[in-house]
Structure 1
Amino acid sequence: MILYLVAQPSTLAVEIDIKTSAENFYNTLKGKTQTTVSDIAPDHLHKVEFHEGDGQTSGSVKLVTFKVGDAVENLKKKIHFDDENKIITYIVFEGDLLKHYNSYKVTLQVTPKGAVGLVRWSWEYEKLNDDAPEPIKYLEFLVNITKKIEAHLIKA
């Protein structure tokens, strides 16, 4: 008898009501506005470099240096856009996150709710082992970024 252990992906999600338009929020995260997310939250996003593409087309690759909790981390991610449904998918393929996870994918969906919107962040990840932490600190990081973008867009 041969026994195979197959790691199962785990999921995590959070929804946040925003008091700004879904279109403006999506465009800010896509980089279609004059002010970038790293301009809005420089204490969280220290450096963003494009390694492939322009950041606004699917397949673009970004290297990001960011502060989560007390640690500064790096990651390299490929980005996919679904403009019609306002969905951005980030697939991490290099960096500090992969010290704990075999795979790590984050999906953002922004849904209009009248003049405002709903932001849904979801994670799909596979831990390297049972001791690997749940990615709660990254959830908190993206909730904080979401609130900073929202506050910026409300002021604008």
Structure 2
Amino acid sequence: MTVLFGKMEAEVEIKVSAETFHDIFSCRPHHISNMSPAKIQNVDLHEGEWGKPGTVICWSYVHDGVAKTAKEVIEAIDDEKLSTTFKVIEGDITTEYKNFIIIVQATPKGEGSCLVHWTFEYEKLNENVPDPQTLLEFCIHCSKEIEDHHLTQLPTAQA
């Protein structure tokens, strides 16, 4: 019997405070298209309010060179653990996966830095569906682009 359930995790350290990174994904995902414009074209509010569990948002993004969409419901926002949980309910991901949960958590690490931990929990539609490795790498790259955006927006110290 082929196992169709899976879990993948990855972590990246970035020079953005954990609180700021968490705030972007939990309350302001529509700002990510400004921070990672090559990957994220748009994030639209479909139902609910930014920053509230139960809110439905739609991502327009480019993954592996292909324009795609993902409609997600924000299942949980944990301001203590600085994590946000998204459940994919429509879009390209649902052509290969029956269930797909994305958890992004930021953990403070020193002054103005954090560890961003991405977790995918999923159920494939069949055994021919690959693990979402390239999508996990995509999320890591987005995290780094958010870092780059924040570093270029900071006022530079006078020499």
**TM-score for the superposition, normalised by structure 1:** 0.89
CA contact (8 A) 2:2 2:127 kept: no
**Partner residue in 2 for 1:37:** 32
Q: How does 1:99-118 map to 2 (within 5 A)?
A: 99-115=95-111, 116-118=113-115
- Please, which of 17, 26, 34 is the counterpart of residue 21 of structure 1? 17
Post-superposition offset of 1:135 = 0.5
**Partner residue in 2 for 1:130:** 127
Residues of 1 paired with 2:43 and 2:125: CA distance? Answer: 26
User: 1:46 is matched by which residue type in structure 2?
Assistant: Q
The percentage of aligned residue pairs carrying the same residue is 32
**TM-score for the superposition, normalised by structure 2:** 0.88
Write out the 4+ residue segments of structure 1 that deviate beyond 3 Å after TM superposition: 5-8
Post-superposition offset of 1:6 = 9.2
String of CA shifts for 1:81-125, please: whole Å, max 9, x gaps.
111110000100111101111100010010011212110000000
CA contact (8 A) 2:39 2:63 kept: yes
Residues of 1 paired with 2:62 and 2:4: CA distance? Answer: 28
How many residue pairs are counted as aligned between the two chains?
151
Unaligned runs of 5+ in 2: 155-159
User: 1:42 is matched by which residue type in structure 2?
Assistant: P
CA contact (8 A) 2:72 2:90 kept: yes
**Partner residue in 2 for 1:73:** 68
Post-superposition offset of 1:8 = 5.0
- Please, which of 4, 8, 12 is the counterpart of residue 8 of structure 2? 12
**Partner residue in 2 for 1:47:** 42
Unaligned runs of 5+ in 1: none
Residues of 2 paired with 1:91 and 1:113: CA distance? Answer: 27
**Alpha carbon RMSD of aligned pairs, Å?**
1.9
